[in-house]
Amino acid sequence: MNINIGGSIILTLLIAAAVLLAPMIFTENPQSVYEQINELRAEHGLSALVWDDQLAAQAQAHSEWMKESGSFNHSNYNVYENINMGGSSVESWMNSPPHQAILLSPNITRCGVGIAGQYATFQAE
């Protein structure tokens, strides 16, 4: 028996599957986000940020909390912070003036990035 399903139905099903699975296949990693931020800072004449293990641990813990709780909220740490859910974190932050201001602040010197699933956290001092 041959069943012919129109191409548009198959395409619609594939797109729906991609949208539903996207959060599960999010592949950003802290090191690449850190490198992208420093590349942007260099392009804007700013010094590179130094990786800070303590900030990275806090950022990782916060990303894991967001993933586990399903919440998308800032932490209570007294640091500069950007958070993102899905997609390119650096691209999202650069497209938002308040978040861009944090990434390109001349007042920060060190940072850490944490990623859990589709949740990313950038913290800096």
- Is residue 83 over pLDDT 80? yes
Return d(Cα 89, Cα 76) in angstroms, integer. 20
Dihedral in degrees, nearest 10, Cα atoms 12, 84, 26, 44: 110
| The one-letter amino acid at 67 | K
Is the torsion defined by CA of 53, 55, 56, 61 positive or negative? positive
Q: What is the pLDDT of residues 36-59, one digit of tens each?
A: 999 999 999 999 999 999 999 999
pTM value is: 0.79
Is the pLDDT assigned to residue 5 strictly greater than 70? Answer: no
CA nearest to 21, candidates 121, 119, 118: 118
- Cβ contact 37:47 at 8 Å: no
Query: What pLDDT sits at residue 10?
Result: 57
